[in-house]
Amino acid sequence: MRQPKLLFVTALATALVAGCKVDRTREGELPEVDIRGGQLPKFDIDPARVDVRMDTQTIVVPKVEVTPRKSNNP
């Protein structure tokens, strides 16, 4: 179900881009900015202590029996 939607969106986007004509009507330019040195913030970080260990345990799993329902179809 996802493939047809993706294909449709891709085809629609291609048709929209290919079906239009773009003419530049005005030149663009970058803004003028003054750049000064700054200072990065300082952080005091106390990381959490993580204790990782492995342990082997036995887990009791219930036994499940499945009986198929008889079909009425020949």
Say how far apart CA 2 and CA 4 lie, in whole Å: 6
State pLDDT tens for residues 12-28. Answer: 888 777 777 778 888 99
Q: Is the pLDDT of residue 73 over 70?
A: no
**pTM for this predicted structure:** 0.26
More reliable by pLDDT, 17 or 1: 17
State pLDDT tens for residues 40-68. Answer: 889 888 888 888 899 999 999 999 999 88
Q: Is the pLDDT of residue 1 over 70?
A: no
Q: Is the pLDDT of residue 72 over 80?
A: no
Say how far apart CA 62 and CA 58 lie, in whole Å: 13
